[in-house]
Amino acid sequence: MVSENDVLHIAELADIGIATAELGKFTEQFNAILEYFDILDTLEAKDSLERPLVNVFREDEVKPCLSQEEVLRNSHNPEDGYIRAPKVI
């Protein structure tokens, strides 16, 4: 059973604000969802849905790429043969 403190903690981790008036409602909904999972855990699957994976990867294909000039021509901010991007920190 999930408490209101647990819901507040989860909301904080997810960076979601929950109003105090809605806290009880969210706690009830959270517990209802977990009860559904408990019901699903009790079910026995007679026919497994797992199937062996065959040919899940495509073959590598060499395709032509753009030249440096074409790439720089399509960029917004070329500088000295490179694409200048904003500083990211």
Residue 50 lies in a domain: no
Distances (CA, A) of 32 to 4, 19, 36: 14, 20, 6
- Per-residue model confidence (pLDDT) at position 41: 87
Which of 8, 39, 42, 4 minimizes the C-alpha distance to 24? Answer: 4
Does residue 17 belong to any structural domain of this protein? yes
> Is residue 27 one of the residues assigned to a domain?
yes
Distances (CA, A) of 69 to 40, 82, 84: 58, 10, 15
pLDDT tens profile 74-85: 888 899 999 988
pLDDT tops 90 at residue 7? yes
Do the domain assignments include residue 68?
no
Provide the residue range defining the domain that includes 8. Answer: 4-42
Looking at the chain, the whole-number percentage of residues with pLDDT higher than 70 is 99
Total count of domains within the chain: 1
Domain-located, residue 22: yes
Residue 31 falls within a domain, yes or no?
yes
CB 31 within 8 Å of CB 6 = no
